[in-house]
Structure 1
Amino acid sequence: MSQFTVSGRFQGRDGWKSFSKSIDAINESVAREHTLAEFGSKHGLKRTQVEIGDVEAAA
């Protein structure tokens, strides 16, 4: 598996906030899905409340 850095923003109580996460995944689309699922399960956010801006493979 490769490591990806996913960055973007999410809608919090005080407006939009930035985030950056390192995720182990097979490819870029799986890294996106894992990020959305994690925000949903841990923070109770819907997919429309999370905007993924960039997904980069970590060197």
Structure 2
Amino acid sequence: MEEKKFEVKGTYQEKRDFWKPYTKVLSAPNATQAEERIYAIIGSKHRLARPYIKVESISEVSGE
């Protein structure tokens, strides 16, 4: 299956009432898998559960 590049934007909870924005470009076969990978990447890096990670938009990046 071909991997496509997706740009994922959203926020994650850094401290109790502070949400920090993020933008990541990653490879995935489809948008659903891109969202799952974001949960895995941000969750493991910042030790957060899914309710503390919000995905606002996922768009396919065309070209290089």
TM-score, normalised by the number of residues in structure 2: 0.88
Where does the alignment leave 5 or more consecutive residues of structure 2 unmatched? Answer: none
Q: Offset of 1:18 from its aligned partner? A: 0.6
Where does the alignment leave 5 or more consecutive residues of structure 1 unmatched? Answer: none
Question: How many pairs align?
Answer: 59
Instruction: Calculate percent identity across the aligned residue pairs.
Output: 32
Runs of 4+ in 1 over 4 A off after TM superposition: none
Q: 1:31 pairs with 31, 34, 42, which one?
A: 34
Q: Aligned Cα RMSD in Å?
A: 0.9
TM-score, normalised by the number of residues in structure 1: 0.95
Q: 2:24 pairs with 21, 25, 43, which one?
A: 21
Q: 2:12 pairs with 7, 10, 18, which one?
A: 10
Q: Offset of 1:44 from its aligned partner? A: 0.1
